Amino acid sequence: MTLLEARGLTRHFGGLKAVDGVDFTLAEGEIHALIGPNGAGKTTFVSLLCGRIPVQSGSIRFDGADITRMPAHRRVRRGIAYTFQITQVFANLTVFDNVALAVQRRGGHLAEETQAALSRVGLAERAGQIAGTLSYGHQRVLEIAMGLALQPRLLILDEPTQGLANAEIETFKDLVRQIVPETTVLLIEHNMDVVMDLAQRITVLNFGEVLATGTPEAIRANPAVQAAYLGG
């Protein structure tokens, strides 16, 4: 089943064609990676999907409904959660309170659902710790817990392994595998080992356009992708 579908999605900034007529389909329950060179339009594209940046032309459908002009907060309520490229935790609050804010935003059962989200990502024992004192890796995991607390149908992760040690990356991969197929994951990632290990399908953006979409094997073997990004 198709969960999200974008058609002809466009966003220009002056003469820069950040996203230029992109067609994109996301299947429910999959891990789908979005890759491409720096400046390819990846973060702009997902910002269009989640409503942080308005669409200039084209359409977005989520779970069968047109959300093209829907504001970001309403997309969250419909089930789209987006974690940022740079950690966005509240450093002066406890781990528990960071997640509780996300639960409260959705109107859920505060203590029960907060604890469940923390347990899901392995942070239950750190619930009382001040978030700013966590290691960088644990802060990234906390950010995922905040996203999961919204109980999203779609979780968009923007460079989640940036700055993580190898052991932390393995923990992250295990976590992502655990949350599908209940939650669909769209992953923006430069670490190609992570992409090839996790993703069922990959879309490659280049100069704001889709260069290729396919399985990891097909993307790895694609000459155009090798020339533009993989360097092989």
Query: Where are the chain's structural domains?
Result: 1-78+154-159+186-232, 80-151
CA distances from 92 to 5, 84, 128, 207 (A): 38, 19, 12, 39
pTM of the model: 0.91
pLDDT confidence of residue 108: 73
Domain spanning 1-78+154-159+186-232, CATH architecture: 3-Layer(aba) Sandwich (3.40)
In tens, the pLDDT along 113-142 reads 999 999 988 899 999 999 999 998 899 899
Using CB atoms within 10 Å of the CB of residue 209, give its burial: 0 to 12 exposed, 13 to 18 middle, 19+ buried: middle
pLDDT confidence of residue 17: 93
Ranges of the chain with pLDDT below 70: 84-87, 231-232
pLDDT confidence of residue 223: 93
